[in-house]
Amino acid sequence: MAVAADSVGVVTPRKVAIATPLLLACGRVLPGFELMVETYGVLNAARSNAVLICHALSGDHHAAGYHSADDRKPGWWDSAIGPGKPIDTTKFFVVCLNNLGGCRGSTGPTTINPETGALWGPDFPIVTVRDWVASQALLADHLGIDAWAAVIGGSLGGMQVMQWTIDCPNRVRHALVIAAAPRISAQNIAFNEIARQAILSDPDFHGGRYIEAGAKPERGLKLARMLGHITYLSDTAMRARFGRMLRDGDGQYNFNYDVEFEVESYLRHQGNSFVDRFDGNTYLLMTKALDYFDPAREYGDDLASAFRTATAKFLVVSFSVDWRFSPARSREIVNALIAAGRDVSYARIDSQLGHDDFLMPIPQYHAVLRNYLDRVAAEAGS
Amino acid sequence: MSASLRPDLALISNWIAPGSRILDLGCGDGALLAHLAKTRQVRGYGLEIDDDNVAACIDAGINVIQADVDDGLAEFADRSFDYVVMTQALQALVRPDQVLAEMLRVGREVIVTFPNFGHWRVRVALLGGHMPHTPALPANWYDTENIHLCTLADFDALCRDANWQVLERALLDRSHRTGASIRVAPNLFCEIALYKLRLPG
């Protein structure tokens, strides 16, 4: 495979062991933990050009490039990260990790609990966005990074960005909050609850000890992902992409429950491919982290108060047809930042797809990211 | 940037106290805010709808919020800014009176500029039976963005009726200069008007 000039190429993840105990929001303590990490670009001598990428619900440390020369798919945000791309790896040292509780190599339900010698499984503590930020701060210590030139994330990743600016105000110079919300709505929690119930009620769930039972809650996980995908796409995008198209070209209804409409085929495919790469317990705890995120809660439900100690400059981006994390929710973040007197710019990108647009190379979106990050790079002296 | 700053923007910056909080409605590429940040140490935000202008503001390091002024200022709290500014956009709004009222709610003071439809060139064109094409109003009647043009007298009447206090006023020709003819017959010779308003009391 010929690697494109604007690709970071073949990358190798590595595991970073953190020996510092971490007190979690739930009250439990992790004596130590491991994080799977990928980095792209070079940390400059002043250590001022580091950028942290925070992943969303089903993301991981593999944000850009390929894991081998014959890898078919690049990392999940390869459209934005690479030489000459908006998150330019010739200027920035880009760090991406699999969050605590994940299932791609970091300490989580699919790793061994050293105290018991058994898989963590359902005993892994439910972690919050704040816990993630605390673990990422320990990672920054490990990498020798005092302050990030920028912390960037979309969706649940954007929530981590906000939490960074509140919890570690002196360690974030720029915060890029993309397709996020200051807290999720009842409707959003409802979607998450259905996803969780699908997994929890799967006969193969075995109280979360499915790996030991030699099983996997595939049906539940698949349903959860199918539901998620509906909410990541706009009605218009679904009409445009699938309409009422039938899979069989003869145009006849089959009068059975096999895959018949194209949209059914798409959802089943998304569900099936997700099952292969994701873990049920991780999906459960990731959705809980989403539900619990609410930084204003400790500040009398006043988001502006939460942002008053932040010192970062902000770029907030939303997408016009995203209804899962709508532009109105991004405006709530912007309004709170203005009320708190923070520097903030806000771009509302005209888009087609829905929530998933934050992963797309939409020209205006990338122009805004590029313009903003070029200034960040100049400021970082890279 | 100050060297090439439009003279009306330079005039506006003289009306603004150093260190204040500014909201610039329809901020374009952010030229005014950039100038004010440099010369008046203001903390400012621009409201802008156009994609290219938003990208230009971000490129220039100006705080810009992508939004449509016609959607109103409901997102902004009462008296949350020292000044709310709008240059050359009033006449393109769906309801200029309502936006001005909103600006006066959000800002302690309001600075607004608009083209004077009472200028003699406009009157001559209308006497000749046609909608005006003037240096200040170059577009055709069918493709102009200007849907609510007014004269100085009309604007003064609105301020009177709405009980808005005119703190300052500058009347300029199209080269953004003031002059004797404008002083003698403002509604005939002024091409661009700048007003600074506030609510009484």
pLDDT single digits (tens) B71-90: 889 999 999 999 999 998 99
Could you tell me if A166 and A306 are in contact, meaning their C-beta atoms sit under 8 angstroms apart? yes
Instruction: For residues A245 and A338, state if they share a domain.
Output: no
* C-beta of residue A37 within 8 angstroms of C-beta of residue A16: yes
Contact state of B76 with A347 under an 8 Å Cβ cutoff: no
| Mean pLDDT for the stretch of residues A10-35 | 97
Q: Which residue of B45, B59, B63 is in closest CB contact with A371?
A: B59
Percent of chain B at pLDDT exceeding 70: 98
Chain B residues inside the 8 Å CB shell of A345: 54, 57-58, 62-65
Same domain, A168 and A49: yes
Q: What is the pLDDT of residues A267-282, one digit of tens each?
A: 999 999 999 999 999 9
- The reply to whether residue B55 touches residue A367, judged by beta carbons under 8 angstroms, is yes
- B58 CB near a chain A CB, below 8 Å? yes
Whether A49 and A168 map to the same domain: the answer is yes
**Which has the higher per-residue pLDDT, A1 or B11?**
B11
pLDDT digits (tens, 9 = 90+) for B140-165: 999 999 999 999 999 999 999 999 99
pLDDT at B72: 85
What's residue B70's pLDDT? 87
Answer whether B134 touches A (CB < 8 Å).
Answer: no
Residue B136 pLDDT: 82
Q: What CATH code is carried by the domain that includes residue A270?
A: 1.10.1740.110
pLDDT score recorded for residue B186? 94
Q: Of B51, B63, B77, which has the smallest distance from its Cβ to A344's Cβ?
A: B63
The pLDDT tens digits for B89-143 are: 999 999 999 999 999 999 999 999 999 999 999 999 999 999 999 888 899 999 9
Q: Where among A234, A265, A286 does a domain terminate?
A: A286
3 state DSSP class of B149: coil
**Tokens 């991780």 found at:** A282
Distance of CA B78 to the CA centre of its chain: 20
Angle at which helix A129-143 crosses helix A156-167, to 10 degrees, equals 70
Distance from CA of A317 to the nearest CA of B (A): 10
Q: What's the pLDDT at A3?
A: 78
Whether A110 and A171 share a structural domain: yes
Residue B5, pLDDT score:
66
Final residue belonging to a domain, choices A241, A260, A286:
A286
Residues of A with CB under 8 A from a CB of B: 315, 331, 334-335, 338-339, 341, 343-348, 350, 364, 367-368, 371-372, 374-375
User: Mean pLDDT, to the nearest integer, of A235-264?
Assistant: 91
Going from N- to C-terminal start, the domains of chain B cover 2-198
* A155 is known as an active-site residue: yes
When pLDDT is averaged across residues A357-381 and rounded to a whole number, the result is: 97
| Cβ–Cβ below 8 Å for A334 and B55 | no
| Cβ within 8 Å of residue A158, ≥6 positions away | A54, A176, A177, A178, A179, A180
For residues A33 and A112, state if they share a domain.
Answer: yes
Q: Work out the minimum CA distance from B66 to partner chain A, whole angstroms.
A: 5
Measure B19 CA to nearest chain A CA, in Å: 13
Give the tokens for residue A234: 């706009």
To test the contact with chain A by mutation, choose from B29, B66, B76 the residue with the greatest count of A C-beta atoms within 10 A, namely B66
Query: Residues A326, A276: one domain?
Result: no
Q: Band of the pLDDT at B175, cuts 50, 70, 90?
A: confident
Please report residues of A whose CB lies closer than 8 A to that of B67.
331, 346, 348
Q: Please pick, among A55, A61, A62, A355, the residue that the annotation labels catalytic.
A: A355
- Taking the CA of residue B37 and the nearest CA in chain A, the distance in Å comes to 12
**In this structure, is residue A4 part of a structural domain?**
no
pLDDT confidence band for B1 (50 / 70 / 90)? very low
Contact B66 A339 (CB under 8 A): no
Contact across the interface for A339 and B77, Cβ inside 8 Å: yes
Q: Which residues of A touch B64 (CB under 8 A)?
A: 345-346
Instruction: Please indicate if any CB of chain A lies within 8 Å of the CB of B78.
Output: no
Provide the pLDDT for residue B3: 46
A9 falls within a domain = no
Confirm or reject contact between B54 and chain A (CB < 8 A): yes
* pLDDT at residue A204 in the model: 98
CB contact under 8 A, A347 and B54: yes
Considering chain A, what percentage of its residues have pLDDT values greater than 70?
Answer: 99
Q: What is the pLDDT of residue B174?
A: 80
Question: Which structural domain, as residue segments, surrounds residue A207?
Answer: 189-286
CB pairs under 8 A between A and B: 52
Residue A1, domain member (yes or no): no
Cβ–Cβ of A368/B62 closer than 8 Å? no
Instruction: Inspect the interface and report whether the beta carbons of A368 and B55 lie closer than 8 Å.
Output: yes
Tell me: do A358 and A282 sit in the same domain.
no
Q: Chain B residue with minimal CA distance to A366?
A: B55
A322 as an active site residue: the answer is: yes
Give the model confidence (pLDDT) of A164-183 as tens digits.
999 999 999 999 999 999 99
pTM higher than 0.90: yes
Q: Among A7, A155, A318, A351, which one carries the catalytic annotation?
A: A155
Q: Tell me, what's the pLDDT at B110? A: 98
Are A54 and A136 within 8 A, CB to CB? Answer: yes
Evaluate whether residue A5 is within a structural domain: no
A8 in a structural domain = no
Report pLDDT for B2: 40
pLDDT at B178: 81
Q: Are residues A160 and A307 in the same domain?
A: yes
Q: A68 and A198 share a domain?
A: no
ipTM for the complex?
0.94
Same domain membership, residue A281 and residue A302: no
What superfamily would CATH give domain B2-198? Vaccinia Virus protein VP39 (3.40.50.150)
Nearest to B58 among A338, A345, A348 (CB): A345
Backbone angles phi and psi of A294, in degrees to 5: -170, 75
Do residue A63 and residue A132 come from a single domain? yes
Q: Does the structure show a pLDDT above 80 at B167?
A: yes
Our count of domains for chain A comes to: 2
Q: Flag whether residue B61 sits within 8 Å of chain A, measured between CB atoms.
A: yes
> What is the per-residue pLDDT across A138-163, written as a single tens digit (0 to 9) for each?
999 999 999 999 999 999 999 999 99
Mean per-residue pLDDT, A116-122: 97
Give the domain-ending residue among A286, A306, A323.
A286
Q: Which residues of B touch A342 (CB under 8 A)?
A: none
Residue B171 pLDDT > 60: yes
Cross-chain Cβ contact A334/B65 below 8 Å: yes
Q: What is the pLDDT of residues B3-61, one digit of tens each?
A: 456 778 888 999 999 999 999 999 999 999 999 999 999 999 999 999 999 999 999 99
Residue of chain B nearest A316, judged by CA positions:
B65
**A355 an active-site residue?**
yes
Q: Are B100 and B90 in contact (CB under 8 A)?
A: yes
For residue A2, pLDDT over 70 is answered with no
Q: What percentage of chain A carries pLDDT values higher than 90?
A: 97
pLDDT for A248 equals 84
Question: Does residue A279 belong to any structural domain of this protein?
Answer: yes
| Whether A26 and A118 share a structural domain | yes
What are phi and psi for residue A225, nearest 5 degrees?
A: -70, -40
